[in-house]
Amino acid sequence: MNADEPDSDTSPLYDRPSKSQRKRSMHERQDLGDALVALRPDQLASFDLPEVLLDAILLAQKITAHEGRRRQLQYVGRLMREVEPEPIRLRLEEIASGPREDAARHRLAEEWRAKLLADGDAGLAEFMHLNPAADAAVLRKLANEARVEKTSGAKPHALRALYRAVVKQLAT
């Protein structure tokens, strides 16, 4: 038998994760626990966590002493070993993506407001083509009032109202 050929009649030497792999897994779960401790209580409610783990997380949020908090976070990490991490990881990603989506929605609304102000009826027609349920008369009126406000230097009430109307239409 050649030394390069695997021995086909023997089982693998190790049928479990190595110590390094186990430690990486524990550290990953510890990090997930730390992320859970950083959440607000209303965000924590959206997770399906065991009561013991939830109580440990809530306690960790209350502890201010450095060493006590460190020990409590380690305890949370130990409890995390008994929980499937993937659903928690996915829910944390959803929570983190919320602000990015809000920022993108805000930028889009700002762009449409600017287009409605600059292009007039052409911008309104394009907006109406993409958002047929929008009220064209209200948007036209608010855009005209906002243009007048800009030129007269008045407070931007119509400009803000136009932004709110655009956001409302983009949300539907």
Assess whether 33 and 58 both reside in one domain.
yes
Assess whether 110 and 76 both reside in one domain.
no
Look at residue 90 and tell me if it is in a domain: no
Look at residue 2 and tell me if it is in a domain: no
Assess whether 77 and 115 both reside in one domain.
no
Look at residue 92 and tell me if it is in a domain: no
Assess whether 118 and 67 both reside in one domain.
no
Assess whether 31 and 76 both reside in one domain.
yes
Domain that holds residue 67: 19-83
Q: Could you give the C-alpha distances from 21 to 16, 28, 59, 92, 129, in angstroms and in order?
A: 10, 11, 29, 23, 55
pLDDT in tens, the chain (172 residues): 455 555 555 556 668 888 898 888 888 988 999 999 999 888 888 888 999 999 999 999 999 999 999 999 999 999 998 989 899 998 888 888 777 777 888 899 899 999 999 988 888 889 888 888 888 899 999 999 999 998 898 888 999 999 999 988 887 7
The confidence score (pLDDT) of residue 69 equals: 94
Helix, strand, coil percentages (3-state) for the chain, rounded to 5, are: 75, 0, 25
Look at residue 7 and tell me if it is in a domain: no
What's the domain count of the chain? Answer: 2
DSSP code per residue over 33-59 = HHHHHTS-HHHHTTS---HHHHHHHHH
Q: Which one of 39, 54, 83 terminates a domain? A: 83
Look at residue 104 and tell me if it is in a domain: yes
Assess whether 76 and 116 both reside in one domain.
no
| pTM (global) more than 0.85 | no
Q: Which one of 55, 83, 111 terminates a domain? A: 83
Domain of residue 115, CATH code: 1.10.60.30
Assess whether 130 and 73 both reside in one domain.
no
Assess whether 114 and 149 both reside in one domain.
yes
The confidence score (pLDDT) of residue 134 equals: 86
Assess whether 75 and 108 both reside in one domain.
no
Assess whether 78 and 44 both reside in one domain.
yes
Assess whether 107 and 56 both reside in one domain.
no
> Scanning the structure block, which residue is given the tokens 């992320």?
35
Neighbouring C-alpha atoms within 13 Å toward the C-beta of 64: 0
